[in-house]
Amino acid sequence: MKLKLLLILICSTFALSGQQFIGSIEVLDPLMEELISPSERMEILAEGFKWAEGPLWVPQLNGLLFTDVPENKIYLWTEKEGLKLFLSPSGMTNHAPHSTNEGANGLALDSDGKLVLCQHGNRAVARLKDWNTDKPEFEFLIDHYDGKWLNSPNDLAFDKSGKLFFTDPPYGLGSQDGDPIKELDFNGIYSLTKSGNVQLLDRSLKRPNGIALSKDEKTLYVGNSDGQNSIVAAFDLKNGTLENKRVFFDGNVLGKTRRGLFDGLKVHSSGVIFATGPGGVLLLDKNGKHLGTIMPGKSTANCGFDPDEKYLYLTATNVLARVKLK
């Protein structure tokens, strides 16, 4: 079937029954329409944030957690109650030498259903000790490598065994790579076992950011938010190490005309990768073919599904939004 480009343009924002909708859906391949209708719109659920990140559906809360990184806060959104502050501070508690007051970024649940956070200001990956957030206490899973402070852990993913994979770019440091408190001379991709064994998996990407595993856990995907090398990289996972590094999707040409760099990554049950990047959320098939883009009209940091994959939730600059999937 001949490839088609179907761009459903919707007014940038309009209201319907008190709801606000933004954006458009770009279809480049018929497979895109098996996952989302080209007429769908992104519903704004909450707005007014400085930089929204890390959307994570939490079954025990029956809602979505997400971070406002510069504000050092985590919010909870539920269908029943809407938005409320969930955790403050979220990731800067003076645990580490710091040059910003930025809080948590990426969020995930471990095998015990506990909240694990990438904390910029604390320069650590930490676990929230319990769900009583009036006086949050954190258990620091890792904050050093080779005797040096991590940069500012950014995003994370767990495999089925409970092993943690995370990225460590310098975005939580005021001057990033040039910050005087930066101790590591690279920005790494790491793994951390449940027993606490850490391994540096790769140090070749300038800005490793979003991270996700394929459904068979044989491939690790990493978004590289580098304006000079805007790619989604893929690695083969073999015996706990990374092999066969390759460009899974090259976004450099797309980035010349569309706002945004590769950031968050999530893998749908179909195997399609949802990658926030130039223009919004790019849908990529298992071979890296660009199927289309969910385009909110704003720089999009991250995305995540509810348990039934009924909706995709996305954090786009100052808003939390969602779009219905098939």
Chain segment 181-197, per-residue pLDDT in tens: 999 999 999 999 999 99
Contacts of 148 (CB under 8 A, 6+ apart): 183, 184
Instruction: Give pLDDT, residue 7.
Output: 40
pLDDT of 172: 97
Position 249 scores a pLDDT of 98
Cα–Cα distance measured from residue 84 to residue 75, given in angstroms and rounded to the nearest whole number = 6
pLDDT at 106: 98
Q: In this predicted structure, what is the pLDDT of residue 5? A: 37
Q: What is the mean pLDDT of the chain?
A: 94
pLDDT for 132 beyond 90? no
- Domain ranges in the chain are 6-324
180/174 Cα distance (integer angstroms): 9
Percentage of residues in the chain having pLDDT higher than 90: 92
The answer, yes or no, to whether the previous bond of 89 is cis (omega within 30 of 0) is yes
pTM, to two decimals: 0.94
Write down the pLDDT at residue 152: 98
Arithmetic mean of pLDDT, 9-26: 66
For 221, half-sphere exposure in the C-beta direction (CA atoms, 13 angstrom radius) is 30
**Domain range 6-324, its CATH number among 2.120.10.30, 3.30.465.10, 3.40.50.450, 3.40.1390.20:** 2.120.10.30
Q: What is the DSSP string of 104-119?
A: EEEEEE-TTS-EEEEE
What is the pLDDT, as a whole number, of residue 134?
84
CA dist 301 to 51, 72, 110, 132, Å? Answer: 8, 16, 22, 28
- Identify the pLDDT of residue 80: 96
pLDDT given at position 171: 97
For 233, left (φ over 0), alpha (ψ -120 to 50), or beta? beta
Query: What pLDDT, on the 0 to 100 scale, is given for residue 135?
Result: 85
Average pLDDT value for residue range 72-82 = 97
